[in-house]
Amino acid sequence: MKITKIRFGMLRVPLKTPFKTALRTVTAVEDIVVCVHTDTGHVGYGEAPATAVITGDTHGSIIDAIDKFIAPRVIGQEVANLNRITGLIQGALERNTSAKAAVEIAVYDLFGQLYGVPLYKALGGGDPLITTDITISVDYIEKMVADSIDAVERGFESLKIKVGKDIGVDIERVKAIHAAVEGRALLRLDANQGWTAKQAVHAIGLLEDAGVQLELVEQPVKARDLDGMKYVTERVHTPIMADESVFGPTEVIELIQMRAADIINIKLMKTGGLSNAIRIADIAALHGVECMIGCMLESSISVAAAVHLAVAKADAITKVDLDGPSLCAFNPVDGGVIFNESEISVTDAAGLGIREIRGLEPL
């Protein structure tokens, strides 16, 4: 099976409700879909969101990076030579992690198809059933409480609460949600870099003193402020998770050596795809550090790849934040991973198992 060409499409899927964080507000998934074709007629699918505020990637940069730098390297390559192909993708250009991830996901999809097994089995196997949390967007307190109650009633047992806009209001938001769902759901806070180190210690300390038990707090300070991350981690009881602070394996090693966080959030759009995500999971496992698998605003195309990874690397990936498909108004994918609210299951279909993508606009 040899790669012959790469084609692009635009996927637009409205969200059920606006996605609001300390960094941005989004109303729809608008992602680049990558279709990698082969001489056997098999097609591998990948996806990349334009998350400029985090990865720096835009729709235009994703297409240009693939078309001008990555595609010329991988066209003509045998899919069986997976490690060689991922090396070519990663070495094609600096950064551009979402573009690299989209192509890698498609190639891994083809690798599974080549050998007739679902991707998670090609990665080592595992239990093909996981559960995810769901995001509660930043909003006025009554709305966030109502959204939290609704999520719990739909079967979600972990809530990821977006904060970081106004620290005083943030504390009241969390207290109100805790009071509404206590004993029915775990609470995870995501400040999206919205606090200073001292603010984070103050806010988390107040919540701890008020009896609010948090499973974790994600990225409380600016991405590059590793000293700030370490400052917070050392001064609170609640586990601190790094997200925007860690993209690749070398950053994970540095973070672990500094003891600047308790948990690592792996996202394929930060790591540049599955190859580096696997390395991060293995590094974390060696050091006894837990990982979460997360996603940007993505549909079930690329999130499916993250699901397969989570299944295969369950020793390191102990927490799941793959709610992108649950936030979408509909699932544009026929086949592949099955997303049923908090429950995510993997079929025995080869690769990612995607048969069709509805509403894809050719580019």
> What Å distances lie between residue 66 and 43, 46, 59, 127, CA to CA?
16, 12, 11, 34
Tally Cβ neighbours within 10 Å of residue 84: 12
Pick the catalytic residue from 20, 100, 121, 162: 162
pLDDT tens digits for the chain (363 residues)?
Answer: 999 999 999 999 999 999 988 788 999 999 999 999 999 999 999 999 999 999 999 999 999 999 999 999 999 999 999 999 999 999 999 999 999 999 999 999 999 999 999 999 999 999 999 999 999 999 999 999 999 999 999 999 999 999 988 999 999 999 999 999 999 999 999 999 999 999 999 999 999 999 999 999 999 999 999 999 999 999 999 999 999 999 999 999 999 999 999 999 999 999 999 999 999 999 999 999 999 999 999 999 999 999 999 999 999 999 999 999 999 999 999 999 999 999 999 999 999 999 999 999 999
**Residues β-bridged to residue 159:** 134, 187
Q: What amino acid is encoded at 3 in this protein?
A: I
Cβ atoms of residues 105 and 43 within 8 Å: no
Q: What are phi and psi of 254, to 5 degrees?
A: -60, -45
Size (the chain), residues: 363
Cβ atoms of residues 302 and 272 within 8 Å: no
Question: Distance between CA 214 and CA 350 in Å, rounded?
Answer: 39
Q: How many helices (H) and strands (E) does the chain have?
A: 14, 17
Cβ atoms of residues 97 and 271 within 8 Å: yes
Establish whether 267 is a catalytic residue: yes
In tens, the pLDDT along 211-268 reads 999 999 999 999 999 999 999 999 999 999 999 999 999 999 999 999 999 999 999 9
**Domains of the chain, start order:** 2-116 (3.30.390.10), 121-360 (3.20.20.120)
With the CA atoms of 152, 206, 265 and 195 taken in that order, what torsion angle do they form, in degrees rounded to the nearest 10?
120
Q: What is the pLDDT of residue 3?
A: 99
pTM over 0.95: yes
Cβ atoms of residues 342 and 360 within 8 Å: no
Q: Which residues of 21-141 form beta strands (DSSP E)?
A: 25-38, 43-49, 129-131, 134-136
Give the annotated binding-site residues for Mg(2+).
190, 218, 243
Buried residues in 161-199 as b, exposed as e (16+ CB within 10 A): bbbbbebeebbebbbebbeebeeebbbbbbbbbbbbbeb
Give the annotated binding-site residues.
24, 135, 160, 190, 218, 243, 295, 297, 321, 323
Pick the catalytic residue from 267, 270, 313, 319: 267
Give the annotated binding-site residues for substrate.
24, 135, 160, 295, 297, 321, 323
Q: Which residues of the chain form beta strands (DSSP E)?
A: 3-20, 25-38, 43-49, 129-131, 134-136, 158-162, 186-190, 216-218, 240-242, 263-267, 290-294, 317-321, 333-335, 338-340, 343-345, 354-357, 361-362
